[in-house]
Structure 1
Amino acid sequence: MNIQQLKCFVEVSKTLNFTKASQNLFISQTAVSNHIKHLEETLGFHLFIRNKKHVQLTQQGKIFLKSALKVLEANQECYQMIQYLHHENFGQLRIGYLKGIEHCIMIKNIQNFYQHNKHMDIQLYRDSRQEIEELLKNHKVDCVFTARVGHDPIPFEDQFDYLHIYSYPFVVAMNKNHILSSYPSLDYFDIKNQTHVIMDTSHPDFKSHDLDTLFMHLAISQDTAILAQFVEDYYAYQKYLCFLPLKDFSQQFHIYLIWHKNSQNKSLNAFLQSIKKEKE
């Protein structure tokens, strides 16, 4: 029994047609038939019932198909792992990300990449913007998902390259019992006299540097917070909070991926290519 025999068996099982299977595998129909014949001889039972008009799996063939698919999947994973082991960094990627952006598109970027690179050693680091960008500066991580509002500059532009990932409009978060919660949307004039909770520790009105703590504060108070739209997906607080669109507000919350210009990490390059392909 070998991988080519299993590939032929699986392809014939999908198409129930030896001619189509041979075309999909780019080999002759005779080769497909011979592979199936040798596989059946090895197994000691027939995989298909064949006549001039129809091809169908035997009961044994249906059961064996499940195992064959698992073997081919394991073979593909093994092949990918071997490819990574030829890389200098053995397929390691250290990703830093800003606290509070867990529910933005970043998750989809990493998840899609991992689905095609399951043997890669992906390590995640979560911290404040200042700390996570410092990790990148000191080569403790390979790349960082960070955020900027409006036209805030990317740090250390002489050292880093960056890729714009996505931009989110802002919403106003508040307790569902807040006097403004019945509004369909708000503008800045509606909330200018409200007490705002923010996450910037350098701001004089600082209340919290952690999004969960901020949400807890909103749930028990009459304060409001202007936040990026993706925070609406924090399901744990949807019972207590509402999120209203903020109209006529020109600023947006921008997610960026930044990395060292001189990075030699092949895994990072593969990650960048994966994200760029998603953005096309």
Structure 2
Amino acid sequence: MELRHLRYFVAVAEELNFTRAAERLHIGQPPLSQQIQALEEKLGVQLFERTKRRVALTPAGQRFLEHARRVLEQAGRAVEDVRRMARGEVGELKIGFTSSLPFTAVLPNVVRRYREQRPDVTLNLREMFTPDQYTAIEAGELDLGFVRYTGLETPAGLDVREIHHDPLRLVINAAHPLASRPVLSLADLHGEGFITYPITVGTGLTILLRELCLKAGFEPRIVQIAGEATTQIGLVAAGLGVALLPAPLECVRIEGVRYLPVSDAGAYLSLGVATRKGDRNPLVAQFLSNLEPPREG
């Protein structure tokens, strides 16, 4: 049985006239009669009582009409749903982001614009370190990710598009002799103890810290490791060392801490959006169209 058989049956059932039903369906009356007869033979029941003067539904035909309408309605909804999916109007979009991203306007702005345009798309947001996002995107567990990638290799199967630069800030205890300076260079910090991320979390910042310090003529002395930026800031407040973090984290206000600009070239962390190469998911394409071009921080 095909959907067209159901459409033919419904048209005859509603018109109770083969000629009018044939006109409504834009087919000839004889082929329509043949199709209805074939349907009855396939079902093994009589759907219509036919006389020279009238056409009427049998009890079985009345019951079948309820089912036929329901099936056609569901089929219509299914067709519209997949068409909307192809247009990127419905579905689920799985997005990863790094822990510092909510401190910027990037994520709130793009999510707000996208939700206004695509209210029927479910957004599933997950906070993850950059290497974990890469793995999840490659495995299909994420559709895209907001990543920090300075100092990191991008996996061959992914594309990373830079969308923002965040300058770095030196996080220093307010009682430190250098805290009154308006700006610092890494050379000013020779001999200081640094608080930074574990190298295994893959933020890229630990690698960048070492590169900047080496350019300034010294190897950084790491005195504390902390996986969360807010923990690092708290350790600075406790006087355990200094930290180098993206500027958006300046909004974390802890007593006894100052955030100072860094003058060294390259003292910024890039924010990018990572996707699978060749991904044709319309949901991803629609989301990416809302991203602004990269700006210098």
4+ residue runs of structure 1 moved beyond 4 angstroms?
82-85, 276-279
Q: Tell me by how many angstroms 1:107 deviates.
A: 3.0
Identity over the aligned pairs, expressed in percent?
15
| Residue pair 2:234, 2:254 contacting (<8 A) in 1 also | no
Question: 1:197 aligns to what SS in structure 2?
Answer: strand
Written as runs of structure 1 = structure 2, the 5 A alignment for 1:206-217 is 207-217=225-235
Counterpart Cα distance in 2 of 1:261 and 1:121: 23
| Residue pair 1:85, 1:91 contacting (<8 A) in 2 also | no
1:125 equivalent in structure 2: 126
Task: Name which one, 1 or 2, has greater alpha-carbon Rg.
Answer: 2
Unaligned stretches of 5+ in structure 2?
Answer: 1-79, 201-205, 207-220
Q: Which amino acid aligns with 2:179?
A: S
Counterpart Cα distance in 1 of 2:293 and 2:138: 27
> May I ask how many residue pairs the two structures share in their alignment?
193
Q: Tell me by how many angstroms 1:276 deviates.
A: 4.8
CA deviation vs aligned residue, 1:220-244 (integer Å, no higher than 9, x gap): 124111112121123xx24442110
Written as runs of structure 1 = structure 2, the 5 A alignment for 1:146-185 is 146-149=147-150, 152-157=151-156, 159-185=157-183
Q: Which amino acid aligns with 2:227?
A: H
CA-based RMSD: 2.6
| Residue pair 1:84, 1:91 contacting (<8 A) in 2 also | no
2:287 equivalent in structure 1: 271
1:31 equivalent in structure 2: none
Are residues 1:254 and 2:266 paired? no
TM-score when scaled to structure 1?
Answer: 0.61
Written as runs of structure 1 = structure 2, the 5 A alignment for 1:96-135 is 96-104=96-104, 105-135=106-136
| Residue pair 1:174, 1:222 contacting (<8 A) in 2 also | no
1:95 equivalent in structure 2: 95
Question: 2:149 aligns to what SS in structure 1?
Answer: strand
Q: Which amino acid aligns with 2:187?
A: F
Shift in alpha-carbon separation, 1:142–1:187, aligned structure 2, 3 A: same
Shift in alpha-carbon separation, 1:86–1:112, aligned structure 2, 3 A: closer
Shift in alpha-carbon separation, 1:84–1:219, aligned structure 2, 3 A: farther
TM-score when scaled to structure 2?
Answer: 0.58
Q: Tell me by how many angstroms 1:197 deviates.
A: 0.7
Written as runs of structure 1 = structure 2, the 5 A alignment for 1:132-151 is 132-149=133-150
Unaligned stretches of 5+ in structure 1?
Answer: 1-81
Shift in alpha-carbon separation, 1:277–1:184, aligned structure 2, 3 A: closer
Counterpart Cα distance in 1 of 2:281 and 2:98: 22
1:55 equivalent in structure 2: none
